[in-house]
Structure 1
């Protein structure tokens, strides 16, 4: 059961204070920031927003990267509780260990149903992009994420072992209405 109703929004300066609180909460936790885009320092928020917009448009992205879209998961009380990065296509690295959708829930908000909601809403966004078969991955020790993926229709495929020995579980979700 979701603690509060949520929606995905495009990152916006209108949410600066709540995003900074989200970012600083994650910093204090000492955890790895997932998805990777939330590790981008937001204190110059306009620069960060421009960076995200260029990524979505495919402008000045590094070689070997793909276009991606970032959204924030916002509660009805306008609190940011999660973020998602949606890759518009897969390259070899994403096929093996990144997937189409990378999401994270604010450390203090886990266990409130937001993981399932962010993935469900992200699948709607991938449908809008025309992605009908979506790859979502998680580390093998991340039981919560595995349950979220399976709850959203994930069918497990072959695992991928990264060079450091980390096992990535890979799931495909048929994404048609």
Structure 2
């Protein structure tokens, strides 16, 4: 496929802005959460991501995280956010990894490859047991997680009744 993960960088500004605008135009929830960050001041957005990775200026109760863009040659087709630790909230319904594929590029196998590549980065962080979650209704994500070795754990039911499927992937 020619897919690879890269750190967010100025050289991919136009490609990322296209990704962001497509997602905004779709009116879908923007996942992972970091793509909700307004990129109009692109340099500030990049610095925000660097700071998050270093644990600088993160809100109380949050954890440091790393963000990567999934590239198909020079096109941003997906984004992944890796949480370095788990809080109680993340243990219940957030997990270590949040990812999303741009709307026009779904159902092409990108999510499975994105998660596979991400697991390599997670292991480099020293995390050997990874929690990945998705909503019960997200059949594509369920399949992606299982295809990457996800072993089901106890579901978490949110206050609104949404069922979060929880999976562990052992990287040891």
Q: TM-score, normalised by structure 2?
A: 0.99
Partner of 2:140: 144
Cα-to-partner distance string for 1:32-71 (whole Å, 9 max, x where unaligned): 0000000101010000011010100001110000000000
Partner of 1:91: 87
Partner of 2:168: 172
Aligned ranges 1:153-164 → 2 under 5 Å: 153-164=149-160
| Structure 1 counterpart SS, 2:19 | helix
Of 65, 72, 75, the residue aligned with 1:68 is: 65
| Structure 1 counterpart SS, 2:86 | coil
Of 94, 112, 120, the residue aligned with 1:124 is: 120
In structure 1, C-alpha distance between the alignment counterparts of 2:157 and 2:42, rounded to whole Å: 36
Q: CA deviation at 1:5?
A: 1.8
Of 22, 32, 47, the residue aligned with 1:25 is: 22
Partner of 1:7: 4
Cα-to-partner distance string for 1:66-91 (whole Å, 9 max, x where unaligned): 00000000012x00000000000100
| Structure 2 counterpart SS, 1:71 | strand
| Structure 2 counterpart SS, 1:137 | strand
Q: CA deviation at 1:164?
A: 1.2
The root-mean-square deviation of aligned C-alpha atoms, in Å, is 0.6
- The answer to whether the aligner puts 1:48 opposite 2:30 as a matched pair is no
In structure 1, C-alpha distance between the alignment counterparts of 2:84 and 2:65, rounded to whole Å: 5
Q: TM-score, normalised by structure 1?
A: 0.96
Q: CA deviation at 1:145?
A: 0.2
In structure 2, C-alpha distance between the alignment counterparts of 1:35 and 1:48, rounded to whole Å: 15
| Structure 2 counterpart SS, 1:165 | coil
**Structure 1 segments of 4+ aligned residues over 6 angstroms from their partners:** none
- Number of matched pairs: 172
